[in-house]
Amino acid sequence: MAMARGYAATDASKPLEPFTFERREPHADDVVIDIKYCGICHSDIHQVRDEWGGSIYPMVPGHEIAGVVTAVGSAVTKFKVGDHVGVGCFVDSCVGCAARDLDLEQYMPGLVPTYNGREADGTPTMGGYSDQIVVKEGYVLSIPENLPLDAAAPLLCAGITLYSPLKHWKAGPGKKVAIVGMGGLGHMGVKIAAAMGAEVTVLSQSLSKKEDGLKLGATHYYATKDAETFKTLAAQFDLIISTVSADMDLNAFLGLLKVDGAMVLVGLPEKPASIHAFGLVGGRRSLSGSMIGSIKETQEMLDFCGEHNIASEIEIIRADQINEAYERVLKSDVRYRFVIDMATL
């Protein structure tokens, strides 16, 4: 067993604090990773504060992990010491499950989240706000060498969460895509959708980030607090992806879809939404959801980002700034992902 250092939440109402814990002895199929950087995802905040229920404490959050391999088990074939690697939102899934063959393991009940979950023997999993992690080879991703590790870390959740629905709903040339919310997920959606060739519109609460949105690849940028936006953009989009983390009126957005258009929710607000059937029925529109992506699709996304030189816009913080960063995320004061430098632990 190795002792790891990290930051943990001890209950839903307290700030995170320094924490020491044991990582398992590596098995033959394990990769040992020296964590260099970890992104702060809004899901970390939802879970630390138990907004989705069932949180396990103490909790070391973090599922946007980027680091360097320091050791490999005897059966590991894909990685060697020194490789740049990432770990995303899960570290195990049902063995031999058909969904894994279909590359849909993220939707299976046997999924083991990187933190706030339990391994097969019941041990709580601990995430990436820490200096090292031991992960089965099959759940470790290769980070392209041309991407800096700090800015690549957020691809492991924010990147794949947008790549997967953009690909599934066929964003590309000739398609009009709207991204709702220009935060950690949203800004990755803008970059990836633009690289796929779609015409991208950002729907943000205000125009304060307009210049950035256009630089990142959007062609249009509108404020949702302006009622005119919903008139101007009526029936315009093939695809709308909502990354919004708080309650919002989905009905207003459904009116922006073309006939057969789809609105996909990736943001996970605490409270349920209410939908008027008319918004879907008139226009044969659909409302759907999407969760991260499979390991295979995550590797495909990382390779795509490597080819297109896409990484996240980040603000590096020290480990002792995590609590302050959470407050800033909650105020939408993030440009566009906080990434913790583990050398500061």
- Of 226, 227, 231, 222, the C-alpha closest to 202 is 222
With binding defined as CB under 6 A, does residue 182 bind ligand NAP?
yes
Listed in order, strand segments (DSSP E) in 189-318 are 199-204, 220-223, 237-242, 257-265, 286-289, 314-317
Q: How far is the CB of 89 from ligand NAP (least distance, A)?
A: 7
Select the binding partner of residue 242 from ligand NAP, Zn ion, none (C-beta < 5 to 8 A, by kind): none
Helices (H) and strands (E) in the chain, counts: 11, 17
φ/ψ of residue 291, rounded to 5? -125, 125
With binding defined as CB under 5 A, does residue 157 bind Zn ion?
yes
Residues 256-295 within binding reach of ligand NAP (CB under 6 A): 266-268, 290-292
- For ligand NAP (CB under 6 A), the number of binding residues is 28
Q: How far is the CB of 209 from ligand NAP (least distance, A)?
A: 6
Residue closer to ligand NAP by CB (options 26, 181) is 181
Residue closer to ligand NAP by CB (options 26, 88) is 88
C-alpha separations of 223 from 120, 215, 226, 233, 260 in Å: 46, 17, 6, 11, 24
Residue closer to Zn ion by CB (options 43, 204) is 43
With binding defined as CB under 5 A, does residue 43 bind Zn ion?
yes
Residue closer to Zn ion by CB (options 19, 115) is 115
With binding defined as CB under 5 A, does residue 179 bind Zn ion?
no
Q: How far is the CB of 157 from Zn ion (least distance, A)?
A: 3
What secondary structure letter does DSSP report for 10?
S
With binding defined as CB under 5 A, does residue 41 bind Zn ion?
yes
Ramachandran area for residue 116 (φ above 0: left; ψ -120 to 50: alpha; else beta): left
With binding defined as CB under 5 A, does residue 311 bind Zn ion?
no
Of 115-123, 137-145, 241-249, 309-317, which segment contacts ligand NAP by CB under 6 A? 241-249
With binding defined as CB under 6 A, does residue 143 bind ligand NAP?
no
Among 55, 142, 205, 286, binds ligand NAP (CB under 6 A): 205
User: Angle between the 158-168 and 184-196 helix axes, to the nearest 10 degrees?
Assistant: 40
Q: How far is the CB of 125 from ligand NAP (least distance, A)?
A: 17
SS3 assignment for 39-70 = ECCHHHHHHHCCCCCCCCCCECCCCCEEEEEE
Listed in order, strand segments (DSSP E) in the chain are 2-8, 17-23, 30-39, 65-72, 84-87, 90-92, 112-113, 132-136, 141-142, 176-180, 199-204, 220-223, 237-242, 257-265, 286-289, 314-317, 337-341
- Interface pattern 17-56 for ligand NAP (x via CB under 6 A): ------------------------xxx--x----------
User: Angle between the 158-168 and 295-308 helix axes, to the nearest 10 degrees?
Assistant: 100
Residue nearest Zn ion, Cβ-based = 41
Residue nearest ligand NAP, Cβ-based = 183
Q: Which residues bind ligand NAP (CB under 6 A)?
A: 41-43, 46, 157, 161, 181-186, 204-205, 243-246, 248, 266-268, 290-292, 329, 332, 334
Q: Which residues bind Zn ion (CB under 5 A)?
A: 41, 43, 157
